[in-house]
Structure formats: structure tokens, C-alpha cells
């Protein structure tokens, strides 16, 4: 393996290790009583979108197989946290969005989770390092260098 290939693989492993370490830390926080982290991920993703998403679109943003996501969506819908509505562009299709209850759960957990994330990140990284990490991650994800307040993930990630 060349030096650049080795460095790329070392960087990849470091990124995955950091992600796994932080996710375990966040999972241990006492904020997940109402929903699991995976359920929260779906609620958060829907909260970042300007409008309802098809299941296949939602699946682009979560680390779940389509069947597992479909079952999770069924559970969230049964609990009244998301709703299904007919897709006006395709009568057979269904679009998913948050209900008011789902939005409230996402906000409540999101506030606590955001504090936990900030605490974990600022404990290890200074402001310049945080900015550099954000820039590098956005670059790897193919996102614009600078996020805007009006960012809608579907405009960035769904062609």
C-alpha cells in the first residue's frame, strides 16, 4: 500500500473509531426513554426536510435497510409520531412527515442531545478544530462548504 493509501485508510479508521466512541457515549445518555436513537434519527431527518419524504428518500439518510426502516416507520406511525399521506405526484406512493407529537418529541430529545453533543465535542476540540472538522466532513459528504439556515437536506442529498 502506498503512503497516501495507508494515510487514507488510517484516516478512515480514525473517523469510524471516533464515530463509534461518540455514538456509544450518546447512547448511554439518559434521554432515550421515549424513542430509540434509530427512531430519533428518523424523526430528526424528517424535521430537517421542507416537506414530506417518500420512504426511499428517507432511506438515503439513515443507516437502516429498507425493510428495517419500513418496520420502524410503521412503529412510529402507530405511536402517532409520523403520518403518511398520499403522494400527489404518484397516487400509489406515500409520503412521510412528522405529526405535531413527533415534532415535539424530536425537539425535546433534540435539545438534550444537542447539549450532549456540544459537551462531547468541545471537551476534545477547540473552536478552530471544530470548524476544520465540520469543513472536512462536509467536503467528504459532498455538501456545500458553508451551511445556511435554510438548508433542506433533500435539496443537497436527493438529486
- The answer on pLDDT for 153 being more than 60 is no
φ, ψ (nearest 5 deg) of residue 58: -60, -40
Asked whether the predicted pLDDT for residue 159 surpasses 70, the reply is no
Task: Look at residue 145 and tell me whether its pLDDT is greater than 60.
Answer: yes
DSSP tag of 132:
H
Would you say residue 96 has pLDDT above 90? yes
Residue 110 makes CB contacts below 8 A (sequence gap 6+) with 40, 44, 47
Question: Distance between CA 23 and CA 37 in Å, rounded?
Answer: 9
Question: What is the spatial distance between Cα 129 and Cα 27, in angstroms, rounded to a whole number?
Answer: 24
Label residue 158 by pLDDT band (50, 70, 90): very low
Q: What is the mean pLDDT of residues 66-90?
A: 93
Query: Average pLDDT, stretch 1-14?
Result: 92
Locate 41 and state its grid cell: 434519527
Amino acid at each position: 500500500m502506498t503512503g497516501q493509501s495507508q494515510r487514507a485508510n488510517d484516516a478512515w479508521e480514525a473517523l469510524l473509531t471516533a464515530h463509534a466512541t461518540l455514538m456509544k457515549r450518546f447512547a448511554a445518555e439518559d434521554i432515550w426513554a421515549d424513542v430509540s436513537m434509530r427512531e430519533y434519527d428518523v424523526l430528526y431527518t424528517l424535521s430537517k426536510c421542507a416537506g414530506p419524504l417518500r420512504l426511499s428518500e428517507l432511506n438515503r439518510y439513515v443507516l437502516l435497510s429498507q425493510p428495517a426502516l419500513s418496520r420502524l416507520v410503521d412503529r412510529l406511525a402507530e405511536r402517532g409520531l409520523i403520518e403518511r399521506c398520499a403522494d400527489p405526484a404518484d397516487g400509489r406512493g406515500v409520503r412521510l412527515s412528522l405529526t405535531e407529537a413527533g415534532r415535539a418529541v424530536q425537539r425535546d430529545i433534540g435539545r438534550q442531545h444537542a447539549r450532549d453533543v456540544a459537551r462531547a465535542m468541545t471537551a476534545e476540540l477547540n473552536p478552530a478544530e471544530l470548524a476544520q472538522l465540520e469543513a472536512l466532513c462536509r467536503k467528504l459528504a459532498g455538501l456545500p462548504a458553508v451551511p445556511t439556515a435554510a438548508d433542506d437536506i433533500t435539496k443537497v442529498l436527493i438529486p
